[in-house]
Amino acid sequence: MQNELKIYNTLNRETSIFKPLHKDYVGMYVCGPTVYSNAHLGNARTYVSFDIIYRYLLHLGYKVRYVRNITDAGHLEGDRDEGDDKFAKKAKLEQVEPMEIVQRYTIDFHEVLQQFNTLPPSIEPTATGHIIEQIEMTKKILANGYAYESNGSIYFDVEKFSSEHHYTILSNRNIEELLNNTRELDGQDEKKGRLDFALWIKAKPEHIMRWQSPWGEGFPGWHLECSAMSSKYLGNEFDIHGGGMDLIPTHHTNEIAQNLACHHTQPAKYWIHTNMLTVNGQKMSKSLGNSFLPSELFSGNHPLLDKGYSPMTVRFFMLQAHYRSTLDFRNDALQAAEKGLERLMNGIQMLEKLKSSDSSSFSVQDIKDKVYKAMNEDFNTPIALAHLFDATRLINLVNDGKEQISETDLSDLQSFMNHFVFNVLGLKPEISNTGMLTEELMQVIIGIRSAAKSKKDFETSDFIRDQLKNIGIEIKDSKEGTYYKIG
């Protein structure tokens, strides 16, 4: 099963069988957030997508080292390589220390990802914790002749690099066009070429976040940190490098260039890129001002939403689309996901109560094979889910006595469904946080109502039901008994 996993690789735009560099081990680096503001839902989608990839690799038995950085310095506004970085800017705005900004939004990021039930990475390095490594790398790139100093800053020489290497291998862009693109350049005297980017930036006097370097006080360029940290924790060559698609043309392109210029190796064997989350057909982004905060989504406190949706509904919603497709975010679609998730979860609950027969009228192995096949096709979660829904239908049919399942098949299906849905897809049952007292009180009330019902005192039973409904508690009678739902 393991050897059948296929991954789409941005490097050659082909889907091919995944072969790790070292048998049974996988090194995976994913570009993390720049923590200068709240994580929005688009950010969350990327990390949920890589969470699925991480979980599935673990499920296949790989020992995975998953490194995801926190960018807490050096990320410039624009590519002008001048002025304040994002942290200093925000810090000024909010009148706090830059590291307070970093702290606040790092915590926010972790909280958001936890709500979406993503597993933490193995290592989560920060840019500020790896200044020395970045300086060392800059030195090497300088020594190798792919960078130059200009007014206390160090720039990567793209033109020189591209004469020897395929600079645009990831983006598949035409380098000549990029170089000749007559887009407006405002005050770029320091750089030789318009594509050149900063490895190290000289700090202005008012700049707070600054470090001592051979070239004076300054701070590192954004692209360098990922190169430095991935090399440090995963080696010069590792298996998977991931991130959002929007990182392809600049950030990842430059990362590859830096690694080649420094170590003479292409860092990752497989480059995986996730697609964007859109709102009404447009990319969700901070600059467009159409981003959703997860908290707004959970509470429903947003003009585009009718109501709030739980983190698991949103996670499920994301899984219903392939990670390389754009996913359009809208109220109706969330509503549909909420119902769909409920159906799947009900199926899993039902599975526990199923009675087995002497033989099975359908093949459990067949279901499992189809689900694995889908996941092996570049982590195709929508198809995997489709087959899990087929399984759900069969579970319900067994319950209705229209299909049969043997004892061994039943326990096989139980462990498979539970493991796959909870551990691989990372869904979890939503626990109502009403507490034990509410639960006990509800059981008392339901008991009274059931007693009235059995005496055919429907006036009383309906009265209880109506009163509860008024305070937002719904009573539902089913064959298995009466249960309630809050909200």
Query: Measured from the CB atom, is 204 or 286 closer to RNA?
Result: 286
**Which parts of 426-465 interact with RNA (CB under 7 A)?**
453, 458, 461-462, 465
**Which parts of 78-97 interact with RNA (CB under 7 A)?**
78-79, 86
Query: Measured from the CB atom, is 54 or 139 closer to RNA?
Result: 54
Query: Measured from the CB atom, is 259 or 274 closer to RNA?
Result: 274
Alpha carbon of residue 395 to chain centroid: 31
Size of the site for RNA (CB under 7 A): 89
> Distance between CA 76 and CA 78 in Å, rounded?
6
Q: What is the 3-state secondary structure (H, E, C) of 266-302?
A: CCEEEEEEECCEEECCEECCCCCCCCCCHHHHHHCCC
Length of the chain: 487
Contact call for residues 117 and 313 (beta carbons, < 8 A):
no
Contact call for residues 67 and 123 (beta carbons, < 8 A):
yes
Tell me the CA end-to-end span of the chain in Å, nearest whole number: 43
**Which parts of 148-187 interact with RNA (CB under 7 A)?**
171-174, 177-178, 181, 183
Query: Measured from the CB atom, is 44 or 135 closer to RNA?
Result: 44
Q: Which of 188, 285, 357, 434 binds RNA (CB under 7 A)?
A: 285
Stretch that binds RNA, among 61-69, 207-215, 233-241, 469-477 (CB under 7 A): 469-477
**Which parts of 379-408 interact with RNA (CB under 7 A)?**
380, 382-383, 385-386, 389-390, 392-393, 396-397, 399-400, 402
Q: Which of 74, 218, 221, 347 binds RNA (CB under 7 A)?
A: 347
Stretch that binds RNA, among 92-100, 137-145, 199-207, 284-292 (CB under 7 A): 284-292
Query: Measured from the CB atom, is 144 or 396 closer to RNA?
Result: 396
Instruction: Report the run of H or E that residue 349 belongs to, with start and end.
Output: helix 331-353
Q: Which of 7, 26, 31, 371 binds RNA (CB under 7 A)?
A: 31
Min dist. Cβ of residue 101 to RNA (A): 14
Q: Which of 76, 101, 224, 314 binds RNA (CB under 7 A)?
A: 76
Contact call for residues 302 and 310 (beta carbons, < 8 A):
no
- Bridge pairing between strands 282-283 and 25-30: unpaired
Torsional class of 291: left (φ above 0), alpha (ψ -120 to 50), beta (otherwise): beta
Burial annotation 183-204 (CB, 10 A radius, 16+ → b, else e) = eeeeeeebbeebbbbbbbbbbe
- Bridge pairing between strands 238-244 and 25-30: parallel
Query: Measured from the CB atom, is 139 or 334 closer to RNA?
Result: 334
**Which parts of 208-267 interact with RNA (CB under 7 A)?**
222, 243-247, 249-251
Query: Measured from the CB atom, is 109 or 139 closer to RNA?
Result: 109
Contact call for residues 214 and 139 (beta carbons, < 8 A):
yes
Min dist. Cβ of residue 45 to RNA (A): 5
Task: Take residue 117 and report the two structure tokens written for it.
Answer: 């039930």
Query: Measured from the CB atom, is 285 or 404 closer to RNA?
Result: 285
Query: Measured from the CB atom, is 25 or 458 closer to RNA?
Result: 458
Min dist. Cβ of residue 19 to RNA (A): 21
Q: Which residues contact 281 (CB under 8 A, 6 or more apart)?
A: 328
Instruction: Report the run of H or E that residue 476 belongs to, with start and end.
Output: strand 473-478
Q: Which residues contact 414 (CB under 8 A, 6 or more apart)?
A: 351, 352
Q: Which of 95, 186, 206, 287 binds RNA (CB under 7 A)?
A: 287
> Distance between CA 348 and CA 355 in Å, rounded?
14
**Which parts of 296-335 interact with RNA (CB under 7 A)?**
320-322, 325-328, 330, 332-333, 335
Q: Which residues contact 206 (CB under 8 A, 6 or more apart)?
A: none
**Which parts of 260-279 interact with RNA (CB under 7 A)?**
274, 276-278
Min dist. Cβ of residue 214 to RNA (A): 25
Q: Which of 93, 437, 478, 487 binds RNA (CB under 7 A)?
A: 478
Min dist. Cβ of residue 477 to RNA (A): 3
